[in-house]
Amino acid sequence: MLPLLLIALITVSLTSIMLPEALASSKGTAATAEAGPAVVVIPVKQTVEPSLHSFLERAFKEAQEARAEHIVLVVNTLGGRVDSASKIGELIRTSPIPTTAFVEGKAVSAGTYIALNANHIAMQPGSTIGAAAVVDGSGTLNEDPKIISFWVEQMTEAAKLQGRDPNIAAAMVDKSVTVDMTDTIGRVKKQGDILSLSASDAEKVGYSDLTANKVEDVVKWLELDNRALIEIQPSIAEEVARFLVSPVVTTILLILGIAGVAIELLVPGFGAPGIVGLLSFGLFFFGSYVSGLAGMESVALFIIGIILLIIELFVPSFGILGLLGSTSLIAAVVMSAPNPKSGFISLGVAVAAAAVIVALFARTNRGRGIWNKFILRDKLSTEDGYLSADDRNTLIGEKGVALTTLRPSGTVQIGESRVDVVTTGEFIEAGKPVVVTKAEGTWIVVKEVKSE
């Protein structure tokens, strides 16, 4: 099992080596740090989730290091997680660099909240903003009053930052809110509807400061068109991590990881399954770490869990070490998930699927594996002509004389041979005639021959 530990350590080492790449920009900004004031353009064109927050944290940090004069967020998202949106909103509000959100397509749900936290909002013709009602993972509208109240408060406070009408922000979340906008866009938002605004309507009600075709138009409106434009894109590692943390990929990685490690622990021999399992776990934790879902404590718990399971194979602990190891692995996976519920669901599906894979592999590959080369598997069976003792079946029916009293064991004379025998329980005096009734291995059973 030492190779298993070695591979685990190598996997963690590779993860730590790859992390700097995850924190590096795809377009070098080190050279721009001395270029003076510039405008940094950052895309927000993915689901609002921890990976987006992690990328924006890195991008805002690089913008500060480059002494950027302004940040333009190019927003085109259908929304995502409320908790991630709240963190991104705080990041924008607390940034010392002024920010403008340029809605290039849609700023829906959490995307609206991100835009509202910016100092300015510009919108492309044909784009929309709003429809920020809270929905669950299946797209069903969340009717929980507590959640709606919280999100309304978040949206209205963001709208107030730049003097925008908070009632309009509330109408984008709560379908029970009514807003009369006849004096600006000629319509009323009625109960039962969720408000969304086109670029032109958003400008009329004061939610957009400008309608522009491209980023350069926004920069010109900001009177910064003589500044250099620096675009910060997600790095390769961040793109890979974003792919790895998708629910389907996460579940597949867990299946491969659990099945691979279990096969190495249960089926003799170290080979491809163990390598695949550890690499799968490595990719799982790498994606979670880069996406901001997990820290090094999750990786540490995973390694501890593997070590405890290996020790359980060699040190009798009545299952205590195995239970602690399994608990560590479960905790590591759940801590690396977007939320405990999704973590347990993915883990449950992975365990069930992995159990089937392990059972099939164990049945079809029982005799394979490197360590099986050191195991003697030749059998000296009776069918192959090998006998563990002399075959005494030929004595059945032979008669002899008891040389000693059989109590119930003793010695008899059969032909010219002295044979150790037993009776079925009765005593037979010396000199009495006997006959062999059964021969099983070295056991010869006799009984007394009664004279007629």
Q: Are 221 and 359 members of one domain?
A: no
Q: Are 212 and 254 members of one domain?
A: no
Q: 55: domain CATH number? A: 3.90.226.10
Q: Are 347 and 248 members of one domain?
A: yes
**283: part of which helix (H) or strand (E)?**
helix 272-290
pLDDT at 157: 93
Would you state the structure tokens that stand for residue 334, as one six-digit string?
A: 């759940």
Distant-in-sequence, close-in-space partners of 385: CB < 8 Å, separation ≥ 6: none
Domain assignment present for residue 345? The answer is yes
Domain assignment present for residue 3? The answer is no
Domain boundary among 234, 258, 276: 234
φ and ψ of 336, to 5 deg: -95, 0
pLDDT at 60: 94
Q: Are 146 and 264 members of one domain?
A: no
Distant-in-sequence, close-in-space partners of 294: CB < 8 Å, separation ≥ 6: 285, 288, 335, 336
Q: How confident is the model at residue 389 (pLDDT cuts 50, 70, 90)?
A: low
Place of tokens 């944290």: 57
Q: Are 211 and 251 members of one domain?
A: no
Cα torsion through 335, 341, 345, 351, rounded to 10: 40
pLDDT at 16 over 60: no
Place of tokens 């910060």: 232
pLDDT at 308 over 80: yes
Give 348-388 pLDDT, tens digit per residue.
888 888 888 888 877 776 655 444 544 555 565 655 655 55
Domain assignment present for residue 101? The answer is yes
Would you state the structure tokens that stand for residue 205, as one six-digit string?
A: 């009600």
3-state secondary structure of 430: coil
Amino acid at 240: V
Q: Are 303 and 191 members of one domain?
A: no
Distance CA 131, CA 109 (A): 6
Would you state the structure tokens that stand for residue 58, as one six-digit string?
A: 């890195």
3-state secondary structure of 71: strand
Beta-bridge mates of residue 404: none
| Residue 339 contacts residue 345 (beta carbons within 8 Å) | no
pLDDT at 34 over 50: no
3-state secondary structure of 263: helix
Q: 196-198 and 210-211 as β-strands: parallel, antiparallel, unpaired?
A: unpaired
Amino acid at 249: V
| Residue 102 contacts residue 77 (beta carbons within 8 Å) | no
Domain boundary among 211, 234, 257: 234
Give 43-92 pLDDT, tens digit per residue.
999 888 888 888 999 999 999 998 999 999 999 998 888 888 999 999 99
Distance CA 447, CA 421 (A): 10
Q: Are 227 and 256 members of one domain?
A: no
| Residue 142 contacts residue 136 (beta carbons within 8 Å) | yes
Displacement of CA 385 from its chain's centroid (Å): 55
pLDDT at 452: 53
Beta-bridge mates of residue 197: 129
3-state secondary structure of 387: coil
Number of domains in the chain: 3
pLDDT at 4 over 60: no
3-state secondary structure of 277: helix
Question: What stretches of 205-246 show up as alpha helix (H) in DSSP?
Answer: 215-221, 236-244
Give 182-210 pLDDT, tens digit per residue.
888 888 888 888 899 999 999 999 999 99
Q: Are 188 and 289 members of one domain?
A: no
Q: Kindly calculate the radius of gyration of the chain based on its CA atoms and give it in whole angstroms.
A: 39
Q: 420: domain CATH number? A: 2.40.50.140
Give 129-153 pLDDT, tens digit per residue.
998 887 765 557 767 788 888 889 9
Domain assignment present for residue 132? The answer is yes
Q: Are 289 and 149 members of one domain?
A: no
Give 425-436 pLDDT, tens digit per residue.
888 889 889 998
Domain boundary among 234, 260, 292: 234
Give 251-295 pLDDT, tens digit per residue.
888 888 888 877 777 765 556 777 888 788 888 888 887 777 777
3-state secondary structure of 434: strand
Q: Are 242 and 274 members of one domain?
A: yes
Q: Are 188 and 260 members of one domain?
A: no
Q: Are 111 and 228 members of one domain?
A: yes
Residue span of the structural domain in which 439 resides: 393-448
Distance CA 252, CA 277 (A): 11
Distance CA 131, CA 134 (A): 9
> In Å, what is the CA distance from 299 to each residue of 278, 304, 424?
12, 9, 67
3-state secondary structure of 17: helix
Distance CA 189, CA 130 (A): 12
